[in-house]
Amino acid sequence: MTAHRGPGERFGPAADFEAELRVTGYETVADGVVALTLRDPGGRDLPVWSPGAHIDLSPRPGFERQYSLCGDPADRTAWRIAVLREPEGRGGSLLVHDELVAGARVRVRGPRNNFALAEAPGYLFIAGGIGVTPILPMVAAAEAAGASWRLVYGGRRRASMAFHAELAGYGDKVVIWPQDEAGLLPLDDELGEPRADTLVYCCGPEPLLAEVERRCGSWPEGALHVERFTARPVTEPVRAEGFEVVCERSGLTLDVAPGRSILHTAEDAGIMVLSSCQEGTCGTCETEVIEGEPDHRDSVLSESERAAGDVMMICVSRSRTPRLVLDL
Ligand code: FES
């Protein structure tokens, strides 16, 4: 089973901090991976964040991507992110690599945390490739808390694995597992025996997440926490036809047509809704459900959060019932 937030933890109000920050550091930390340091140009402190948080980075107007913060949460003067150059991607990583060199300015929003580290006696961290970024501050926090923890970190080649030298300082708590030397991550060994005192945190490419989710099916409810930066594959919506959305705060009733999202329908009606990824991965558009049953199609909510049905990501999720009443 999966879970994404600690007990009682909810997404905060729609992102509140938005600013133009200056790139003060641009460092190649592995083949194809750069780490950027971002600071307020006026020297002001940046908002507090916790391990697992991400920011929205907008290297160009209308173009936004999410990156995990991977620096030290205690350092309020700087944020650090690491970005893999993906020539086959949607272009965001190339903009970051080519244009956000030291001295450049970039619009950011956040931080937001869909992947918070819950308190536990023990942790198993599993990272694949650039998915190590949110895990870095997590292992530091687990170490500082005196928890028992272990990180298994896989990548294609050692030279492509960011921060492996930094992680080596933790000794045998960290297993570096380059695929060209050792093959695929030994997930059966790591996850074969469910452990009641251990939470599993995993970030990486979709095939790794899917394999970890499958193996954690026998682990206690809420043991597994995953972070996705690409949307998981979705099936057809439960309702092929449209549905009605009552926007309680705005006093508007909208018809959501098949093939049109609730988010875009609300925007068309003049309702201001914050959004970022528009593919169900970032949590920015989370909206409270007052009545009706959502058809969840996002990659953020856990099974238990989906079953509770009290919030939904309106950029991708739809309705199982002819009518939804939302806090919009
Ligand atoms: S805008 Fe990112 S989850 Fe909806």
Q: What pLDDT digit, counting tens, does each position of 246-255 carry?
A: 999 999 999 9
**Does ligand 1 come within 6 angstroms of the Cβ of 312?**
no
Cβ of 313 closer than 6 Å to ligand 1, yes or no, is yes
Q: Is 282 in the pocket of ligand 1 (CB under 6 A)?
A: yes
Ligand 1: nearest atom to the Cα of 314 = 4
Residue 276: phi and psi, rounded to 5, are -140, -75
15 lines ligand 1 (CB under 6 A): no
Question: In what helix (H) or strand (E) does residue 267 lie, and over which residues does it extend?
Answer: helix 262-268
The share of the chain scoring above pLDDT 70, in percent, equals 95
**Mean pLDDT to the nearest integer, 293-300:** 95
What is the mean predicted confidence (pLDDT) over 15-34? Answer: 93
116-159: per-residue pLDDT in tens?
Answer: 999 999 999 999 999 999 999 999 999 999 999 999 999 999 99
- 110 touches ligand 1 (CB under 6 Å): no
**294 within 8 A of 318, measured Cβ to Cβ:** yes
User: Ligand 1: which of 11, 265, 282, 299 to mutate, most ligand atoms within 8 Å of CB?
Assistant: 282
Higher-pLDDT residue of 12 and 270 is: 270
Cβ(96)–Cβ(59) under 8 Å?
A: yes
Q: How many CB atoms lie within 10 A of CB 43?
A: 7
Q: What is the pLDDT of residue 4?
A: 41
Position 266 pLDDT exceeds 50: yes
Sheet holding 122-128, edge to edge: 174-178, 148-155, 122-128, 198-203, 224-227
- Provide, rounded to the nearest whole percent, the portion of the chain with pLDDT above 90: 86
Residue 6's pLDDT is 35
The per-residue pLDDT for 124 is 98
For the CA of 278, the closest atom of ligand 1 is: 1
| Residue 278 Cβ < 6 Å to ligand 1 | yes
Q: What is the pLDDT of residues 11-22, one digit of tens each?
A: 333 446 999 999
Q: Is the CB of 261 under 6 A from ligand 1?
A: no
Rounded to the nearest whole angstrom, what is the distance from the C-alpha of residue 107 to the centroid of ligand 1? Answer: 18
For 150, phi then psi, to 5°, come to -150, 140
pLDDT in tens, 76-106: 999 999 999 998 888 889 999 999 999 999 9
Nearest CA to ligand 1 atom 3: 280
Reported confidence tier of residue 68, pLDDT bands at 50, 70, 90: very high
What's the confidence (pLDDT) of residue 92? 87
Q: Looking at the predicted structure, is the pLDDT value of residue 5 above 60?
A: no
* Residue 207 pLDDT level (bands cut at 50, 70, 90): very high
**Ligand 1: distance of its center to the CA of 279 in Å?**
6
- Rounded to an integer, the average pLDDT of 304-320 is 95
How far, in Å, CA of 75 to CA of 140, rounded? 13
Query: What mean pLDDT value characterizes the chain?
Result: 92
pLDDT of res. 231: 85
Q: Predicted confidence band at 179 (pLDDT cuts at 50, 70, 90)?
A: very high
* CA 23–ligand 1 middle distance (angstroms): 26
The neighbour count for residue 180, using CB atoms within 10 Å, is 11
User: Looking at the predicted structure, is the pLDDT value of residue 326 above 60?
Assistant: yes
Ligand 1 proximity of 84 Cβ (cutoff 6 Å): no
